Structure 1
Amino acid sequence: MISVLNTACSSSKQITAALVGNPNCGKTTLFNALTGLRQKVGNYPGVTVEKKTGNFSGPHGEPIRLIDLPGTYGLNPTSPDERITTEVLLGLRTDICPPDCIMCIIDATSLRRHLFLVSQVFELRIPIILVLTMMDLLKGRGRAIHAAKLSKELGCPVIPCNAVDRSGLVELRQLAVKYRKNSPSPFSESFPLLREATARLSKVATPSHRAAAHLALFEPCASRLSLYRLPAPLINEVLQEQSILDSKCVGWRHITAAAKYHRIQRICSRVLYRYSHQQAIVDTTDQLDHFLTHPVWGWMAFSFVMTVMFLTIFIVAAYPMDWIQSGISFAKNWVKSTCPRGDLTDLLSDGVMAGLGGVLVFLPQILILFFFIGLLENTGYMARAAFMMDHLMSRVGLHGKSFIPLLSSFACAIPGIMSTRAIPDARDRLATILIAPFMSCSARIPIYTLMIALLLPANMPFAYLAKASLMFSMYAIGVAAAFTCGWFLKKTILKGDLSCPMVMELPPYRFPLFASILQQVYQRAVIFLKRAGTVILGISILLWFFSTYPKSGVQSPEDILEHSFAGKIGLTLAPIFQPLGFNWKISIGLLCAQAAREVFISTLSIAYSVGGRTEEMNKPLREVLLRDHWPDGRPVFTPLVCITIMVFFALSLQCIGTIAITRRETNSWKWAAFQLGYMFVVAYGAALLVYQTGCLLSLG
């Protein structure tokens, strides 16, 4: 199958280039600069590792396909994302063409460390183009790299690139076409025993297997040799050569690595130079880290950043949210005044528009959240937040690397759970998967925003600050629950050895590339709108049907919902949720929110559109909910009920996608069911405690 694909790829006129580099080297920024909006994001078949591809053109319009491979420190994979990089470069995957050339991205401020990966890539005998990024940061330190000398030392082209002013991009496009037929010489080994072993393997291996055999030779674990997909006889040859090397020199792997670093050091000494005799400029990164990672000031800075983010979500997003709400109301009025009365008109206005509109109105807030996340990642501050959280993570028994998946879960739990594959210990990884959904994802923002709007009047003093504080409190509740449950799981069913300390790279601070950030925000907007146009639209139509039918006799508009299928289901569930202060309409919303959390808003919108009075149809959902009362005249959405709803959603797992990805990552429905069950118990128990305590204190 692989040979058939490779033959098809070689006959194609499209050039395939791959971006390879260490994490935080600027690959994604360069990828966005080259491909613009011509990108496609998905997952590699069979694994939940992000696959990002894009297209750009050569100097004469030649079609070039660009693959952004996961960051890696070497080609002997230790995690699924590194395995993907190795498999693509070796041409082992049937779903993607092997690259015609490789663009090795090197952070100029860490040339020595990044060149080690380059030394391994050279062994693949695939045309290589070295791309130097962060040259401006290196210049700020009073140093520079002589690109021509580096090119001569390595025998491949070296291009300094800057995505901000787009310098070097034209040359890179030209080289992607011109240099793809020139294979570089391998990074020579100075260890004689290894040269002999490599020569013997080259004689028995086919050309397509030589690079994989050479990489497999450095694999210390025999059970992992299958990763390189070598024929059984060749694996035996690799094992035999490893045995010979072990018998003649026990530390041959370390000696080889030391020899590579020695040569890399010589290269760096020849190409790195200080262009000024003045005193070196004090590193801005060190100055900022002294404050931003301080045990006291660092946490104050982190709290300030979070407060600004939540204030922006409420203040800036208020204007486009009002515009969207006005547009939806106008569209509903137009449909009702233009179309003839009947079920089709009601479906469009009370089903489709009410359901989709109830969610789309919160799109500005979600995009602002993603903008801030992109801003923090782009500037390098996100890694500092992870560094600060590492100590707290270890106190609750979690691995330091668990913070990155948990941080990703603030955007969405699905990619957060997928990123747990970088955690080496199986128990730590499972514990992180089980607690990741406690992080308040973007789908919870519409629910928090609506409940906070019901809870706090818009004209109260310091309204925005109070709203931001409440929003921050919901995020804090989720984090506290995650750490508490993580500690409990690691002390009971997932008890094991102490987690290894986290070792991570702190990238230098950089000026944010707003074009790249906005492009990521655009991609998230497209994903959200696709979800709204498929999942939420389908659920909205079904909800309208179940909320409207069956129609029995002559009923007033207020009775239609109560006698519908949805009403009967809600009345059945009402005794379960009544101790939390929820009526049967809220119970319907909780049930439908199992598909996706934001569907809760759509459900309420449809429920109150179907059962509401005509004069209330076009009013904002907030006003309609505030008018809802129990049969005895008590308001339904009291401040206590609003807080209880937020607490419930902060702690419950209401997302089919998250359940499915947990099953896929753990390969077990048992853990997916356990996650759903224990989070529901935690959410219900916490919400019950909040509501009943509030009632005892006469807050309801």
Structure 2
Amino acid sequence: MSSCCTTETIELPQQPRVAGKLQTVALVGPPNSGKSTLFNRLTGLRQKVANYPGVTVEQHLGRMKGIGRPDLVLIDLPGIYSFDSYSEDARVAVDVLRGEMPGTPQPDAVLLVLDSLHLRRQLMLAAPVLALNLPTLVLLNMTDLMESRGGEVDTLALAQELGVPVAKISGAQGIGLNAIAQFLNRRSEPAVETTQPQRLELPVVGNARSYRQWATGVSSRTKYKAPLSSEWTRKLDGVLLHRVWGPLLFLVVVFAVFQVVFTLGNPLSDAFGNVLYGLGDFVGRFLGDGWLKSFVIEGAWRGVASVLVFLPQILLLFLFIGVLEDSGYLARAALIADRFMKGIGLNGKAFIPLLSAYACAVPAIMATRTIENKRDRFATILVTPFMTCSARLPIYILVIAAFIPNRPVLGDLLGLQAVAMIGLYLLGFLAALGTARLLKSSILKASSTPFILELPQYRMPTARGLALRLYDRGKLFTKKTGTIILGATVVLWILAHLPVHATLPESVIGRLGHWIEPAIRPLGFNWKIGIGILSSIVAREVIVGTLGTLYGADPATQALHLQAALRHDLTLGGAMALLVFFAFAMQCTSTLAIVRRETNSWRWPALQFAYMTVLAYLGALATNQLILHLMR
């Protein structure tokens, strides 16, 4: 999850490096070393995100205003463990550091971030970085935690071993950042010698065993003492990583999250909806009766409000995901899942993209770049859209609330609506696993690769971090609602009123709906649902705005609440079939576009869209027919 930031125009200097003159600084380090937190500190949360030319990896740039050096551009490189990885992230980081990335000059200095809690392993990255002979400052991050747990290291001895300055810092607490400013200021002074001090002999470049032996020797000579895990960490890991209790507790957490989302989210959404619809009625009084009121209120406002009403529940879900991620629990869940992922042929690293797809498939697909094996990566990309992203929540919540009573299942602990929601998440997950198994046993068969993950420390999530996360997600959701969904509902309103004075079934959109109705009638859908499905190809949540506009434009149902209108037009079988359809269907042009970009071909997204659409149709057909049979 990215943190909220302010963007500004940042241009990278294109002229060659000049001795003694700093222009660009690279920030490099292993994953989970706290590099991104430090980047936000140094840039004051002001950054630019773009793509490196010719590749799909993003570059994060920011001016170092956080330490009073706005003249310097900081480049946040992807987290890497070594220079020898075959992942695209690693290749980009190495190319930038070596000055081989088109459009990006070789950095004038390097800030190497290492997690002091795992210094012995992380020192392996120091060897190839130092071999570049760039001015380098080694930053031992999280030293406050290391020392509080009995760890220690002789930084002076480490600096002598590495031949570069070393500083203890805490990016999260903002401790020790003055050392960065002092290092950069000294490098900027013309009188200072710009060549690096002589170092001891570095290990053979490209030899992992040589790196490991060198890192072990440096750790010993600098009297590095690894910190003890806290008693709480040992106790929690003993339970959360248990082969039996770990997966069971993960399921309990998932059930609890969805139960709270419904029990607390429903009243919040209802109250928010009353405000939105009340605001629309208030504005409508000043517009009089006529086409202007119909366009503004029934066409635009009701379509947008019908989607915005789900914002409280979506934010609640992201709040819980943020707590689980920031606390360090989700990384443990990934470790547990690795045992299962290997059984279906996927790399353990696939779990992180699949997990992040519960927020949005687009950044999740981009996160597959850390998977070195190309076939494993493509398989993960193709199954990621099956995971239930936040865009599906509006239609899920709408249909579940309309057709499924919230009866208790386990007393007051779990309601039937929460069970239905969990069932849809599980359905998408099983579809992803089944498809992955099919791909990995046929067109994308490949040998397994090891899963390496540095477990982060357990931390108490901060209110500021969670607030920024919710602001970011809320801003993205409302921006999409105010652009894509608003545009779609306005177009639908216009088509629903052409020709002029025609009834809704006789309008352009009505005729289109009746034309496709024979194909979707076996699923239990009428022509209005069909129009909603077509419009949702732009974005899944558009269907709710579409239905809000269509039912608002229909004199027979415009006085009804949207849930009541759906109960009027759909049977139980049709409603459940609609949920199944959206659990499987692609219905997102942004996802198709990112799959095209990541695979560098239209063949894979075309195959993906066709497969998921056919599966969605057949699943919806089977669901409707089964319920019709059971209700006879």
TM-score calculated relative to the size of structure 1: 0.80
Query: What's the offset of the Cα at 1:152?
Result: 4.1
Q: 1:608 to 1:55 in 2, by over 3 A?
A: farther
1:549 aligns with 2:498: yes
1:358 aligns with 2:299: no
Task: Give the counterpart of 1:481 among 423, 431, 449.
Answer: 431
Q: Is the 8 A contact 1:156 1:184 kept in 2?
A: yes
1:621 aligns with 2:554: no
1:588 aligns with 2:521: no
Query: What's the offset of the Cα at 1:436?
Result: 1.4
1:117 aligns with 2:117: no
Task: Give the counterpart of 2:585 among 652, 675, 692.
Answer: 652
Q: Distance in 2 between matches of 1:267 and 1:14?
A: 30
1:265 aligns with 2:216: yes
Q: Distance in 1 between matches of 2:265 and 2:99?
A: 47
1:321 aligns with 2:269: yes
- Equivalence map 1:342-421=2 (5 Å): 342-421=290-369
Query: What's the offset of the Cα at 1:501?
Result: 4.2
Q: Which amino acid aligns with 1:478?
A: G
Q: Is the 8 A contact 2:552 2:558 kept in 1?
A: no
Q: Which residue of 1 aligns with 2:475?
A: 526
Query: What's the offset of the Cα at 1:591?
Result: 0.6
Q: Distance in 1 between matches of 2:610 and 2:198?
A: 55
* Cα deviation 1:299-331 (Å, max 9, x = unaligned): 111012212222332244345434532332133
Q: Which amino acid aligns with 1:81?
A: D
Q: 1:173 to 1:514 in 2, by over 3 A?
A: farther
Query: What's the offset of the Cα at 1:343?
Result: 3.0
Q: 1:377 to 1:58 in 2, by over 3 A?
A: closer
Q: Distance in 2 between matches of 1:527 and 1:610?
A: 28
Q: Which residue of 2 aligns with 1:468?
A: 418
Partner SS for 1:6: coil
Q: Which residue of 2 aligns with 1:146?
A: 154
Query: What's the offset of the Cα at 1:615?
Result: 6.9
Q: Is the 8 A contact 1:5 1:94 kept in 2?
A: no
Q: Is the 8 A contact 1:14 1:65 kept in 2?
A: no
Q: Which residue of 2 aligns with 1:50?
A: 58
Q: 1:338 to 1:671 in 2, by over 3 A?
A: same
Q: Which amino acid aligns with 1:68?
A: D
Runs (5+) with no aligned partner, structure 2: 1-11
Q: Distance in 2 between matches of 1:128 and 1:666?
A: 36
Task: Give the counterpart of 1:184 among 179, 184, 196.
Answer: 196
Name the count of aligned residue pairs.
615
Query: What's the offset of the Cα at 1:548?
Result: 2.0
Query: What's the offset of the Cα at 1:170?
Result: 4.2
Query: What's the offset of the Cα at 1:604?
Result: 0.7
Q: Which residue of 1 aligns with 2:521?
A: 578
TM-score calculated relative to the size of structure 2: 0.88
Partner SS for 2:457: coil
* Cα deviation 1:598-646 (Å, max 9, x = unaligned): 1011111111111145972xx64324433x3xxxxxxx23443322211
Query: What's the offset of the Cα at 1:362?
Result: 1.9
- Equivalence map 1:663-682=2 (5 Å): 663-682=596-615
Q: Which residue of 2 aligns with 1:688?
A: 621
Q: Which residue of 1 aligns with 2:443?
A: 493
Task: Give the counterpart of 2:387 among 439, 461, 466.
Answer: 439
Q: Which residue of 1 aligns with 2:90?
A: 82
Q: Distance in 2 between matches of 1:596 and 1:486?
A: 24
Partner SS for 2:540: coil
Q: Is the 8 A contact 2:151 2:226 kept in 1?
A: yes
Q: 1:463 to 1:140 in 2, by over 3 A?
A: closer
Q: Which residue of 1 aligns with 2:143?
A: 135
* Cα deviation 1:3-23 (Å, max 9, x = unaligned): x95318879x99533221011
* Cα deviation 1:76-103 (Å, max 9, x = unaligned): 4511111121222223334445433322
User: Bigger radius of gyration, 1 or 2?
Assistant: 1
Q: Is the 8 A contact 1:105 1:131 kept in 2?
A: yes
Q: Is the 8 A contact 1:33 1:516 kept in 2?
A: no
* Cα deviation 1:258-298 (Å, max 9, x = unaligned): 2x54443343234345699xxx6665434322211212100
* Cα deviation 1:157-204 (Å, max 9, x = unaligned): 33333344322234434544444565534654367xx7xxxxxxxxxx
Q: Distance in 1 between matches of 2:251 and 2:613?
A: 29
Q: Distance in 2 between matches of 1:289 and 1:311?
A: 25
Q: Distance in 2 between matches of 1:651 and 1:684?
A: 9
Q: Which amino acid aligns with 1:625?
A: L
Q: Distance in 2 between matches of 1:568 and 1:664?
A: 36
Which structure has greater helix proportion?
1
Q: Per chain length, whose mean CA-contact separation is higher, i.e. which structure has more relative contact order (CA < 8 Å, sep 6+)?
A: 2
Runs (5+) with no aligned partner, structure 1: 195-214, 219-252, 629-635
